[in-house]
Each structure stands twice: as structure tokens, then as C-alpha cells.
């Protein structure tokens, strides 16, 4: 039996992309502090994350972010059981800042070090929601972010089976690229979510790749969004400028295609594997149309994190760390960053 009762206080650090984040988590489920310094404004002018700029900003603010997380938690370093940090996947220069900070703290404060997979962090963001005590396995978990679109069967803590993934663009990446071509502010995901509110999802019917042909044996649970992005680009190309485009209808039509694909594949997996519930995590799980469609379509409970825990944060890293820590996992001080770290 797993000892999920062990009490822990974990300082977690997350710098895999463009958020510098630190949090203190108690027992894997309670947020004592959760500080996120976003770089969105810094990258907006480039229309995407500029890796070197991201690393530099992490270096500038990491100390202040960690100090603030400790201050808000009203704890001293002696009260901690462990320092956890995202070790991958992510941008190598960004990851290095968090990992080196965590190593420095582990050495100077004599604390165990634990490297956490960023995707596992997103999965564990659901343990920070109010009804975590009700979670039972098996679960089907969809992780939809800027870098990943992965469907997992989770049969216990730390036990995953990858059912399917995107063959090309991640869902969030497609939102960001389509947002750019519709002339919407960066990042595209929240902008399309907002623009689609005033549009019709049926004016333009965009393809539902790997869905329309029916669930075929090879790609039952896989996704593909690059053809959909091209279809939107072709339609948008009919107008001489972004100001002439029916942006709301294009955004709503694109969003409907992504949502339907994500929902139908997740529903099929939940049914096939007898899931007790469906979890949706990652930045795109903040999407309102996706949340509504999941809740409506699924016959088992659907859990999504509160909006602030959908996008990158360190609280989720602390939650994932707890469930690794109580199973005895620790990392050595020579732990390296792993930009392409696989969950399984």
C-alpha cells in the first residue's frame, strides 16, 4: 500500500519556459505559497518565447521569487523536507537557472534534491484542487499545453501509460500560431478563447484531423493540428488584411475543431479503459469552450485545475514532488537538466 499519509513541506521551483515560479506545498495537496513571475509582456513583441531572453529574466528574478515564496509560506528553510525543481522537458537555458538554484539551496541548506518532470507536474495540478480526496484510479488524463498534447492512462501514483500524443503541433502551439495569423495578441490561446466568444463556431467548418476518418487502429488516441492550422491559414488568406478578417468566426471555428478533437478522443479513451474520472491539465485546459464541452460530453466526472494552476506554476511541481518523495525518490547533486525528458 502506498503511504500517501506522510507529511511533507516542499519548496518547488519551475523555470522550464517563460514563467519564473516558486511555491511551498504541504503534503502534496495544500498550497502554502505560489509565486509566478510571468514574462508574457517581455515576449509579446516577438510573438513567441525568445529563449535567450527567457533565461536572462529567470536569472534576474529567481532569487526574489524563491524568497517571496518562503516569506508567504511563513516557513524557514529548516522547516522544509526537500527542494524540488523541474528538470525537463523545457528550454535548456531556462531549466538550468531553476536546477542550479535548487542545487545551491540543497547544498547550503542540507536538503534533499528532487527533479520533477514538467508534464507530471501538470498532471498533479489536479491534486491541488479542492476535491483531491475523491480522486481514484484508473484515470484518463489529457495534458494540453504549448509543448504537449498527451493522453495518459494513470493507474496509480507515478504509474502512467501513454495512450496517444500529437504527431505534429501541440494544441497550445496551434492556438498560438493561429492567434498570430489572426492578428491577435500573444499568447494566442487566451486571445482566441476571448475572440471566439463573439463568433459562430459553424460559419467556417475546419477539419478535425485524425477524427473525421473515425478512430483508426493506428492513431486511435493520437492528435494532429498542423493541417488544421494550414486550413485556417488558407481561409484567412482570402482577406487582404487582418482588419478585413471575420476574426471572431475564424477563432470560433478553429477552437471548435480543436475542442471536438480533444473531447472525442478523451471520451473514447475514458470509455475503453473504464476511467473513474477524466483530468484535463496544462495551459489549454484554461480554455472555456474545452472545459464546457468536456463536462457536457463525458459520462464520468471531469476535473480541471483552477485557472491559475492550468498554466505553468511551481505549485504543481511541489504536488508531483510529494508523491515521488514519499515513494523514496531523491536525486543526486550531479542531476542534469533534461530538455527532452520523457514521462515514461
Binding site for ligand KG4 (CB under 6 A): 17, 145-147, 172, 175-176, 187-190, 193, 282-284, 286-287, 311-312
Looking at the Cβ atoms of 16 and 261, the one nearer to Zn ion is 16
Helix (H, G, I), strand (E, B) or coil at 145: coil
CB of 313 to ligand KG4, least distance (A): 8
- Residue 235 binds which of Zn ion, ligand KG4, none (CB < 5-8 A, kind-dependent): none
| DSSP per-residue letters across 157-213 | TTEEEEEEEBSSS-HHHHHHHHHHHTTPPSSHHHHHHHHHTTS-TTSS----TTTTT
CA–CA separation, 25 and 318 (whole Å) = 6
Choose between 188 and 209: whose C-beta lies nearer to ligand KG4: 188
Site string for Zn ion, 312-341 (x = CB under 5 A): x-----------------------------
CA–CA distance, 73 with 67 (Å, rounded to integer) = 10
Residue indicated by cell numbers 489529457: 142
- How many residues at the interface with Zn ion, by CB under 5 A? 2
| Partner whose binding site includes residue 324, from Zn ion, ligand KG4, none (CB under 5 to 8 Å by kind) | none
Minimum CB separation of residue 133 from ligand KG4 in Å reads 25
Pairing of strands 82-88, 113-117: parallel
Q: Give least dist CB 100 to ligand KG4, A.
A: 20
Comparing CB distances to ligand KG4, the nearer of 62 and 316 is 316
Rounded Cα–Cα distance for residues 308 and 305 (Å): 8
Cell of 300: 464520468
Residue placing its CB nearer to Zn ion in the complex, 141 or 145? 145
9-32 as b/e: b if 16+ CB within 10 A: bbbbbbbbbbbbbbbbbbbbbbbb
Distance of CA 92 to the CA centre of its chain: 18
Q: Which three cell numbers stand for residue 249?
A: 468566426
Residue with cell 477552437: 255
169 binds Zn ion, rule: CB under 5 A = no
CB of 212 to Zn ion, least distance (A): 29
Residue 249 or 312: which CB sits closer to ligand KG4? 312
Contact string 273-302 vs Zn ion (x = CB under 5 A) = ------------------------------
Chosen residue from 94, 145, 266, 324 binding Zn ion by CB under 5 A: 145
CA 319 to chain centre: 14
What residues line the site for Zn ion (CB under 5 A)?
A: 145, 312
Amino acid at each position: 500500500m502506498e503511504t500517501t499519509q506522510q507529511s511533507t513541506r516542499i519548496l518547488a521551483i519551475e523555470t522550464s519556459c517563460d514563467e519564473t515560479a516558486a511555491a511551498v506545498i504541504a503534503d502534496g495537496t495544500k498550497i502554502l505559497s505560489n509565486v509566478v513571475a510571468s514574462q508574457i509582456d517581455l515576449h509579446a513583441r516577438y510573438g513567441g518565447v525568445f529563449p535567450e531572453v527567457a533565461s536572462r529574466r529567470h536569472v534576474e528574478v529567481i532569487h526574489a521569487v524563491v524568497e517571496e515564496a518562503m516569506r508567504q509560506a511563513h516557513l524557514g528553510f529548516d522547516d522544509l523536507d526537500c527542494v524540488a525543481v523541474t528538470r525537463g522537458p523545457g528550454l535548456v537555458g531556462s531549466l538550468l537557472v531553476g536546477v542550479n538554484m535548487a542545487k545551491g539551496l540543497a547544498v547550503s541548506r542540507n536538503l534533499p534534491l528532487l527533479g520533477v518532470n514538467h508534464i507530471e507536474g501538470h498532471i498533479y495540478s489536479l491534486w491541488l484542487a479542492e476535491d483531491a480526496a475523491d480522486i481514484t484510479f484508473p484515470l484518463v488524463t489529457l495534458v494540453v499545453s504549448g509543448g504537449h498534447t498527451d493522453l495518459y492512462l494513470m493507474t496509480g501514483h507515478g504509474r502512467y501509460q501513454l495512450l496517444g500524443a500529437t504527431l505534429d503541433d501541440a494544441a497550445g502551439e496551434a492556438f498560438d500560431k493561429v492567434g498570430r495569423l489572426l492578428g491577435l495578441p500573444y499568447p494566442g490561446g487566451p486571445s482566441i478563447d476571448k475572440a471566439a466568444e463573439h463568433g459562430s463556431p459553424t460559419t467556417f467548418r475546419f477539419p478535425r484531423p485524425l477524427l473525421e476518418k473515425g478512430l483508426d487502429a493506428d492513431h486511435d488516441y493520437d492528435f494532429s493540428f498542423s493541417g488544421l492550422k494550414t486550413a485556417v491559414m488558407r481561409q484567412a488568406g482570402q482577406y487582404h488584411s487582418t482588419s478585413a478578417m471575420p476574426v471572431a468566426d475564424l477563432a470560433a471555428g478553429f477552437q471548435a475543431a480543436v475542442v471536438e478533437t480533444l473531447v472525442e478522443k478523451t471520451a473514447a479513451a475514458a470509455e475503453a479503459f473504464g476511467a473513474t474520472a477524466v483530468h484535463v491539465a496544462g495551459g489549454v485546459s484554461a480554455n472555456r469552450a474545452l472545459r464546457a464541452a468536456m463536462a457536457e460530453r463525458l459520462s464520468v466526472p471531469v476535473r480541471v485545475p483552477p485557472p491559475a494552476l492550468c498554466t505553468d506554476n511551481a505549485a504543481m511541481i511541489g504536488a508531483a514532488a510529494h508523491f515521488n518523495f514519499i515513494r523514496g525518490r531523491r536525486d543526486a547533486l550531479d542531476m542534469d537538466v533534461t530538455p527532452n525528458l520523457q514521462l515514461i
